[in-house]
Structure 1
Amino acid sequence: MARSYDTPGEGMFAPEEVDPAVAALAALAGNGGALEFAIGTGRIAVPLAARGVPVTGVELSPAMVERLRTKADEATIPVVVGDMATTRVPGDHSLVYLVYNTISNLLTQAEQVECFRNAARHLGPGGRFVVELGVPSLRRLPPGQDGLVFAHRDGYVGLDTFDLEHQHLVSHHIRFEKGGEPSVIRVKQRYVWPSELDLMAQMAGFELESRHADWKGAPFTGDSRSHVSVYRLPERA
């Protein structure tokens, strides 16, 4: 996945996707440092660091970090290889962030709760944890059906299949190359409702500060397909 993850200027790497997220995170970080859980190849971290925000990362995949190193060296963006639910990173941070549905890669509720607790361990009073996450699409499932197409375009079909008992879904990314066999990448996730996420935050000592439908600040409603939630640790009394 690391070899084909980057799509410069397109998809999630398109400026209209990246720029609002970077602007919002820079404003939330203020004069402090930022820690990105699951930093990947630096889609957000590299432009955020370019804006003058000190960024550190946690990443489970050495292959992803290797791709990141083609864009920024260790001195510019330090990265610790490890699990975002448990790995500790030195330094002072005013912001921890976790974008693009990545908290769903933790496949149990207990691991997701530990991720919140790990974020809290890296923050002082008033520190913020930002989570970008999709809203489960279960309202679109007809009775008796356990899958739906979430995207389709020339040469690509995206299909989600759901395991309602265990609150899991598998995203199937199917690409059709001219003259070749289709390629399939499957990503298993644990989907999380916003209210469940809020309870995880409360267990880690956070309070919900704001929730919007996107990085530009659109209102979050019952019809929103994703959300950007900002959680904050209370200030000292």
Structure 2
Amino acid sequence: MDNGDGYFGEGVAATYDQSSAEMFDSSAVLPVVEVLAELAGDGRALELGIGTGRIALPLAARGVPVHGIDLSRAMTARLRAKPGGDAIGVTIGDFATTRVDGAFSVAYLVFNTINNLTTQDAQVDCFRNAAAHLSPGGCFVVEVGVPALRRLPPGQRIVPMYATPTHWAFDTYDTATQELSSNYVEVTGDRSSYRSIPFRYVWPSELDLMARLAGLRLRSRWSDWTGEPFTHESEQHVSVWEKPAG
């Protein structure tokens, strides 16, 4: 773990865009930007876990003022180095508790980032923090996977992600604590490396309760950013909670 940057320090930041290249493709980015731009309207957007600017930069290019919160200076340095990155305000800190000035029409957490908060208390705090930043009628949006426990046979805790002659990746689940870790092994020549990142998986119904505790109510839930219905077969969901206007 890189000092001060959590699990997303220089070692991860240097190759993040390349290792997640499919998520930077326009087919993955544009539907997200369309939804967030519509929710933002004439207001501002707050990205929790802004990272290298995958969503913030194209959203800002649509004319939506964007501010971000992120713990990793290494990740946000990559954002700053991109065209338009120096025009986006970023506050360094834990997005579960860090406050910034002003009110926002939409706050959002994408690409499973809610799972980077590894306790239920931190996830509850995040909902409260998002709600505190929203204007009345504003929305909090979360994109996150549905826990893949259906893929676990009895007695098994590991779900492989991919395996090649030089790279292995697998997730490890603890159903008693909802702890999840993503683990990566890489072999280069006669050297090998191992990296493990902890997460906490969370259910849609649990997120709804967190939203209620923060004074938010569910407006919409889809299986993806195009608005496809959320069903028992959905592997992820995009959920929108609204802060009452009254």
Classify the TM-score, shorter chain.
over 0.9
Within 5 Å, give how 1:30-179 maps onto structure 2.
30-72=41-83, 76-152=87-163, 156-177=167-188, 179=189
Distance 1:180 1:212 in 2: 46
Structure 2 match to 1:227: 237
In the other structure, the counterpart of 1:192 is 202
Verify the 8 A CA contact 2:80 2:86 in the aligned structure 1. no
CA drift at 1:175: 4.1
- Retained in 1: the 8 A contact 2:57–2:85? no
1:150-205 deviation digits (Å, cap 9, x = unpaired):
3456864431111122110101134455x454443321100000000000000000
AA of the residue aligned to 1:89: V
SS of 1:148's equivalent in the other structure is strand
CA distance in 2, matches of 1:28, 1:63: 29
- Aligned 1:193-212 pairs, distance under 5 A: 193-212=203-222
Q: 2-side partners of 1:180 and 1:102: how far apart? A: 34
Q: Percent identity?
A: 54
The farther-off stretch of 4-13 and 46-55 is: 4-13
Q: 1:180 to 1:91 in 2, by over 3 A?
A: farther
Structure 2 stretches of 5 or more lacking a match?
1-11
| Secondary structure of 1:166 counterpart | coil
1-side partners of 2:124 and 2:155: how far apart?
A: 31
Distance 1:101 1:75 in 2: 25
Deviation of 1:129 (Å): 0.2
Structure 1 length-normalised TM:
0.93
After alignment, is 167-176 or 119-128 more displaced? 167-176
Mark the CA change 1:24 to 1:153 in structure 2 (over 3 Å): closer, same or farther: farther
User: What value does the CA root-mean-square deviation take over the aligned residues?
Assistant: 1.8
Name the amino acid aligned to 1:202.
R
- Alpha-carbon separation, structure 2, partners of 1:168 and 1:3: 27
8 Å contact from structure 1 (residues 172, 186) kept in 2: yes
| Aligned equivalents of 1:118, 1:145: Cα separation in 2 | 36
Deviation, structure 1 residue 17 = 1.1
**Residues 1:226 and 1:9: Cα distance change in structure 2 (over 3 Å):** closer
Aligned to 2:3: none
User: Within 1, Cα distance between the matches of 2:78 and 2:240?
Assistant: 29
Counterpart-to-counterpart distance in 2, 1:51 and 1:21: 12
After TM superposition, the score normalised by the length of structure 2 is 0.90
Question: Does the 8 Å contact 1:9/1:15 carry over to 2?
Answer: no
What is the alpha-carbon distance in structure 1 between the residues aligned to residue 214 and residue 190 of structure 2? 49
CA contact (8 A) 1:8 1:14 kept: no
Would you say how many aligned residue pairs link Structure 1 and Structure 2?
Answer: 235
Instruction: Please say which of residues 179-188 and 100-109 is displaced more in the overlay.
Output: 179-188
